[in-house]
Amino acid sequence: MKRGTVFQWFAVMVMVCFAGFAVPRVVMAHCDGMDGPVVTAAQKALDTGDVNLVLIWVQKNDEDEIRKAFQKTLGIRKLSPEAKELADMYFFETLVRTHRAGEGAPYTGLKPAGRDLGPAIPAGDKAIIDGKVEPVVNLLTDQIQKGIHEQFKKVMARKKFNKDDVAAGREYIETYVTFIHYVEHLYEASKEPSHGHYPEATEGGGHED
């Protein structure tokens, strides 16, 4: 199917924002992963001694805490390989915890490297690294088209029910409501840019990655 430029950009806007509307339970942040951008920045900062590489990941009022933790880590990691490993992990956890707290998200510990984050997050990261957004546009366009067609197909399959069959009518209404809400969520998400709020924060009064 030929992709229109307008629909492609609509897809990008929608899928970025859609996390907070349609499927909050399956959306994953990757800032708390050992191979995520925050820990990666922390590793570079410790190796180079440049704290500015991690200060960008925290709020301004958290700078002092991170600076102190950074200096403490630099001092301890010189003692031995074992001390270095423990000190680095302490700093990783402090940084990620502070980053997530600044965003209003809970800290649930560092996650192992190599987690399955689905196709969207890796594609987004790669687009920024490569400077090419087209693969992301195509990925999201395909997913939105697939979702709309699937929901629409379910509605149409139950649309022609016998008016005397109340159970069948209710099944139709269920698919109808699901389809309408799906379309509504997509449209509403397309009107507002994502502010990076985490699903768990949106549900529980906090902040997303």
Q: Decide: residue 19, CB within 10 A, 0-12 exposed, 13-18 middle, 19+ buried.
A: buried
pLDDT digit string, tens, across residues 144-156 = 899 999 999 999 9
The pLDDT of residue 118 is 85
Are the C-beta atoms of 208 and 197 separated by less than 8 Å? Answer: yes
What is the distance between the alpha carbons of residues 13 and 192, in angstroms, rounded to a whole number?
A: 8
**H or E segment to which residue 109 belongs:** none
Q: What pLDDT was estimated at residue 123?
A: 86
pLDDT reported for residue 3 = 46
What is the rounded average pLDDT of the residues 73-87? 96
For residue 42, give the nearest of 80, 75, 87 by alpha carbon.
87
Query: Above 60 in pLDDT, residue 70?
Result: yes
Summarize the confidence of residues 109-128 as an average pLDDT.
Answer: 86
| CA–centroid distance for 126 within its chain | 14
Distance (Å, rounded) from C-alpha 158 to C-alpha 172?
5
In degrees, rounded to 5, the angle at the alpha carbon of residue 66 between the alpha carbons of residues 62 and 197 is 50
pTM over 0.75: no
Q: Is the pLDDT of residue 82 over 90?
A: yes
User: Residue 155 corresponds to which tokens in the numbers above?
Assistant: 């509605």
The dihedrals phi and psi of 111, each to the nearest 5 degrees, come to: -100, 150
Work out the mean pLDDT of the chain and round it to a whole number. 81
Go through the chain and tell me how many residues it has. 209
Query: Quick one: CA torsion of 197, 18, 12, 186, rounded to 10 degrees?
Result: -140
Q: Residue 102: is it exposed, middle or buried by C-beta count within 10 angstroms (0-12/13-18/19+)?
A: middle
